[in-house]
Structure 1
């Protein structure tokens, strides 16, 4: 795998083992998976990783909720997709055995907050009450998804779930984009809490310092300026 730094030595000059360990510190904070409990809805948070939809289907088959909502229009990574994230995810969950009448599509959301607010409006319009829900996201989006849902849809007992994909497995893909996304997500946890978009969640000093160092090293494509 070509490591970050190999094609742009001027910008990505840190040794790969150092970058890898910095990313691990960020990952360890962002991943927050909770025990499951019977719920009214499984909300698959749209993104570029269809394994999220596979996990949502698995939870449905295990009986944790009778309804799967797949939410997502196009976001910063999927803006060039021919279909919305919701349509891609809907196809995946159906291919994994979830019947069509157990799946709802929400195709407008362009970010995490809109995944929550648009799904809330969709279910309210259909008269579906939600006392407990399951947020299914990429592992490194679980904590931020929970913080967002707690602000944008309070009064619901939210649980988080994610596909069992390791840090090392993500690094074997597009490592640079993966690290850039995590840096952006951790920064957003602070910025969006200040703006009232999600509830504050303390960030360990080591994780925050690692995110800052990665940004300094050039992994800053998704950092809010």
Structure 2
């Protein structure tokens, strides 16, 4: 049973992780690979709404996805998008990336190889990874404007979708830790974390939501 305070703290982290950008047309939509096919669904919906003329799906496999997506995250995303009505000609895949930094670096390189000019990127991720993806892209691809997007869902609905409330909260905590640590390691730009979000993060660490941490909470 998850305590009421932990649910409230997790909601604070959920809200902070989302950038709350207004979606607008961009040069390209980039769907970041993961275990969640909802990223492919959201990217396809944005393409069909004419928010981008081209989709890049990026992602190899990980321990989390190798059984569910044996052909690679980007390939499975592509197949899903085609099922949803996106023409195959509008999709490119990048199949080597194994982390967010590589997602961005390899996607940028692919677009350069294709000779496609890019001034803006519609960056599609899991809802709780919006801020991390944004911060990484701003560091590695500073010359483009970035619009963050994800599947339109609530924290409660996402927990119901994943059907593992502790895992979802663990992922929220892990994502926040990376926002705190990675700027110091040169992996992303630094962003202000409000005091109430920091306190919620610390309480969740103390409550045991730590399976996605890289080390002890800072």
Q: 1:155 and 1:89 mapped to 2: Cα distance?
A: 27
**Which of 150, 153, 166 is equivalent to 1:162?**
150
Unaligned runs of 5+ residues in structure 1 are 4-14
Q: 1:202 and 1:125 mapped to 2: Cα distance?
A: 35
User: Is it true that 1:56 corresponds to 2:38 in the alignment?
Assistant: no
Matches within 5 A, 1:62-211: 62-75=49-62, 77-81=64-68, 82-172=70-160, 173-211=163-201
Tell me the TM-score normalized by structure 1.
Answer: 0.90
Unaligned runs of 5+ residues in structure 2 are none
Q: 1:175 and 1:64 mapped to 2: Cα distance?
A: 32
Out of 206-215 and 154-163, give the one that drifted further.
Answer: 206-215
Go from structure 1 to structure 2 and tell me whether the alpha carbon gap of 1:76 and 1:25 turns closer, same or farther (over 3 Å shift): farther
- Please identify runs of 4+ aligned residues in structure 1 that moved more than 4 A: none
Partner residue, 1:215: 205
The number of equivalent residue pairs is: 212
Report the CA distance between 1:16 and its aligned residue. 2.4
CA contact (8 A) 1:42 1:65 kept: yes
Partner residue, 2:28: 41
Q: 1:146-202 CA deviation, whole Å, 9 max, x = no partner?
A: 111000111101101111121001222211111111111001011111111111110
Out of 196-205 and 211-220, give the one that drifted further.
Answer: 211-220
Partner residue, 1:11: none
Tell me the TM-score normalized by structure 2.
Answer: 0.93
